[in-house]
Amino acid sequence: MAPRDQTRGLSIARVVESTLPVFLRGGSPGERRETARRIHDRGALRRGPLLHIDCGTASGVERLFDHRRLDRPVADESWELPYVWACGGTLYLERVERVPADLQRPLNELIRTRRFVPSGDRREIEGTFRLISSASRDLVGEVGAGRFREDLLYRLHVLLVDVPPVA
């Protein structure tokens, strides 16, 4: 069963104050990144960080679950996971259709519960964040082909925003 079809997405103004997951469709990757930034900058969690993860790269989404692979851009030891960076801020997952199959279930649980236990650790981390995601392929088609979890699709497709191309 596919998510309800919204032929017209919502405007940025209608989603900024919500903390529900936002899915960006259309536009180029750069236009989607700029739209994610605008939503973050105007949103309820704008005082927190904006963390962009490109799920199509080797180090992409795995950084959320394996603290041993983390390249710390900040010298603050209390910020030991990218997930923590997004607590109280915005997590933007680009090319989410490229999340490996074995990480789709943990990602779904992270979105559902706002908690997780990082690989190699025993303590559970909980946080508040806004999730924005986008894909370079049709996620409904990816579900139909068996490459993407349907329950994860539903978690991502809560508020749909159409990204207009730059004229």
pTM: 0.82
Instruction: Find the range with the poorest average confidence among 98-102, 115-119, 127-131, 156-160.
Output: 115-119
* pLDDT tens column, 33-73: 999 999 999 998 888 888 888 888 867 766 666 554 444 44
108 vs 51, residue with greater confidence? 108
Amino acid at position 33, single letter: R
* pLDDT given at position 42: 93
User: d(Cα 63, Cα 59) in Å, to the nearest integer?
Assistant: 6
pLDDT average, residue stretch 9-20:
85
pLDDT surpasses 50 at 7: no
User: What φ, ψ does residue 84 adopt, rounded to 5°?
Assistant: -65, -35
* pLDDT given at position 75: 40
Q: Can you list the domains of the chain with their CATH numbers? A: 18-162 (3.40.50.300)
* pLDDT given at position 83: 59
User: d(Cα 109, Cα 70) in Å, to the nearest integer?
Assistant: 21
Nearest alpha-carbon partner for 159 in 140, 136, 137, 133: 133
Beta bridge partners of 115: 126
Task: Write the CB contacts of 61 (distance below 8 Å, at least 6 apart in sequence).
Answer: 53, 55, 93, 99, 100, 103, 107
pLDDT average, residue stretch 5-15:
71
